[in-house]
Amino acid sequence: MTKIILLRHGETEWNKLGKYQGQSDVALSEKGRQQAQALAQHFPVKSVQAVYSSDLQRARETAAIASAAFSCTVQTDSRLREFNFGDWEGLTYAQITERWPSAMKNFFQHPDILEVPHGETFQQLQQRAMEAVQEIVSNHEGETVVLAAHGAVNRTILAAVLHIPLQYIWSMRQDNTAVNILRHTEGHYILELMNSTAHLRSSLEI
């Protein structure tokens, strides 16, 4: 049995501004670092054998802060990068809607058929993310592993393991420093926890 502690990164300045980040390498805000520290103080398990992260700094830093007590080197994997928003990166919802109204409508209602200019599809995102997850699981049988990634990445992973069509990925919340716990046993995934931010209620005024 392998246990995966799947995290979303802490808040960034672009999160605060409502900008689509995608693969732009945006740093954590001070609040984002505080969120990661709160998670470290209230981590959901007492033992971790490995820590993996997207290679984008907001996820790397979240992983390093949140898992500091376990003395594990953060191993990065580009397959865990956020969705490639292409021409939409750095823009707000209002700006995208003004320039690409039909595409933005698909973003929420039909992400399974969304085409982002110079970006990628959610099918491509899910494929690369699950390749990383399956490899990590196979390399850590019987261990507990932290995996720090991004909102869209986490949603596609959860959709895959729960057999939910990609059309419905926005039905799942993924807040900053959200904790999801998955157990892999005998070839199957079991979801034990989704989008928990109990550590923030314990340590921060939000």
Q: Is 167 exposed, middle or buried (0-12, 13-18, 19+ CB in 10 A)?
A: middle
The residue whose two tokens read 């997850």 is 133
> What is the overall mean pLDDT for the chain?
95
Confidence at residue 104, expressed as pLDDT on a 0 to 100 scale: 83
Q: What is the pLDDT of residues 57-116, one digit of tens each?
A: 999 999 999 999 999 999 999 999 999 999 999 999 999 999 998 888 888 899 999 989
Would you name the residues annotated as active-site residues?
9, 82
Indicate the CATH number of 2-203 among 3.20.20.60, 3.40.50.720, 3.40.50.1240, 3.40.50.970.
Answer: 3.40.50.1240
Mean pLDDT computed over 126-148: 98
In what side-by-side order are the strands of the sheet with 2-8?
74-76, 50-53, 144-149, 2-8, 179-185, 188-196
CA distances from 84 to 48, 97, 104, 138 (A): 30, 17, 15, 27
Report the predicted TM-score, pTM, of the whole model to 2 decimal places.
0.95
pLDDT exceeds cutoff 60 at 178: yes
**pLDDT tens string 181-204:** 999 999 999 999 999 999 998 665
- The pLDDT tens digits for 29-65 are 999 999 999 999 999 999 999 999 999 999 999 999 9
Query: Residues of 136-152 as b/e, b for ≥16 C-beta within 10 angstroms?
Result: bbeebeebbbbbbbbbb
